[in-house]
Amino acid sequence: MELVTLQEILANTKKEHYAVGAFNFNGYEDAAGIAQGAAAARSPVILMASQGACQYIGLYETAGLIKGIAKKLSVPICLHLDHATDLDFIREAVRAGFSSVMIDASAKPYEENIHDSKTIATFAKDYHCSVEAELGKVGGKEDNIVVEDRTASFTDPAQVPRFVEETGIDALAIAFGSVHGFYKSEPKLDFDRLAAVLKLTACPIVLHGGTGIPIADIQKCISMGLAKVNVGTELKAAFSNTIRKMCAELPKDEFDPRKFLKPVKAACAAIVQEKLEAFGSAGKA
C-alpha cells in the first residue's frame, strides 16, 4: 500500500472508539518489527522517526525504507516525522515523501507557535502530507528536546480552538501529565483537562510519552476520544536490550550481524501487537 496521512489513518478513531499507535524507530530492524506487529494485529499503524533518527538514517533513506516496507504490507502505514523544530528540515521531509510531519514549536510563545505551525500546514497542503502540532509542553527528554518536569506546562484548553482553526493542522499533541522517557514516579494524567480539550475541538488529539502510563489510563483516554498514542522509549529499550542479550548468548566467534539483529524485529513486533490490541485498533485495517 501507499503511505497514508494522519487524516486518513485517524478518520474513524473517535466514531469507533479506538486510537492508532505511533511508534518510534531508529533503524531497519525496529521499523520492520513495528510493521510486522501491525500486520499481525490487522491494525493501521504510524511509524515515527524523530529529527535525530532522520539525521542518523538520512531523510530520503528513511522515506525510501518505509515506502518499501509499506509496499508489501496489507495494513495502512503512515510515515510521520516526530517532534521536528527546524522548518527547513520539515519541508525537506515533506518533499522526501513523508506522509505526515510534526512541527513542534511548543517551546515558543503562543503566537509564534501558531505562526510556525500554520506555515508548515500551509506548505504540506500541496503534498499528500498531514501535520501535527503541539500546544503546551510535554515533559521529559525526546531526542534533541529536553523539558524539565517542573517547567513542563500543561495545555490551556481555552487556547486550543483558535490554535486549531488558524493553523489548519490535522492533529494536536497536548500536555496533560505524560512525559517522554521512563517515568520516575507513577504518572498522573489530568483527565479533566483532556475532556475540556476534546469538548472544544474536533481535531484529533495525541498523547505523547505513552511508555509507562498504565494501560487502563490510556484506555480511559481513548474511550473519551483520544486518537493517537505515541510510544517510543519502550521500543528503544527493547532494541538495546535485545542486542545486549544476543551479545551475551551468541558464541564469541559469531560474526554474522543478522544473528544479533534479527531478534530485534520479533521483540518490537511483540510490543507493537500488544499495544495495538490494547488501543482497540486491532482488526481495524
Site for Zn ion in 204-263 (CB under 5 A): 208
Pick between residue 29 and residue 142 the one whose CB is nearest to Zn ion.
142
Position of minimal CB gap to Zn ion: 208
Closest separation in Å from C-beta 184 to Zn ion: 17
Pick between residue 208 and residue 275 the one whose CB is nearest to Zn ion.
208
Find the part of the chain contacting Zn ion (CB under 5 A) among 32-40, 88-96, 134-142, 233-241: 134-142
- Give the active site residue among 30, 82, 143, 170: 82
| Distance from C-alpha of 241 to C-alpha of 175, rounded to nearest angstrom | 29
In the block, cell 511548543 appears at 106
Q: Number of residues in contact with Zn ion, rule: CB under 5 A?
A: 2
| Distance from C-alpha of 92 to C-alpha of 103, rounded to nearest angstrom | 13
Phi, psi of 63 (to 5 degrees): -60, -45
Pick between residue 124 and residue 231 the one whose CB is nearest to Zn ion.
231
Tell me if residue 126 is catalytic.
no
Closest separation in Å from C-beta 83 to Zn ion: 5
Closest separation in Å from C-beta 167 to Zn ion: 18
Site for Zn ion in 137-176 (CB under 5 A): 142
Pick between residue 9 and residue 206 the one whose CB is nearest to Zn ion.
206
Print the binding letters for residues 183-212 with Zn ion: x by CB under 5 A, - otherwise. Answer: -------------------------x----
Pick between residue 5 and residue 230 the one whose CB is nearest to Zn ion.
230
Closest separation in Å from C-beta 87 to Zn ion: 18
Closest separation in Å from C-beta 98 to Zn ion: 16
Check binding of 80 to Zn ion (CB under 5 A): no
Site for Zn ion in 34-53 (CB under 5 A): none
Whether the Cβ atoms of residue 166 and residue 159 lie closer than 8 Å to each other: no
| Distance from C-alpha of 130 to C-alpha of 7, rounded to nearest angstrom | 7
Pick between residue 137 and residue 208 the one whose CB is nearest to Zn ion.
208
| Distance from C-alpha of 15 to C-alpha of 93, rounded to nearest angstrom | 31
Closest separation in Å from C-beta 210 to Zn ion: 9
Q: Which residues bind Zn ion (CB under 5 A)?
A: 142, 208
Which of the residues are catalytic? 82
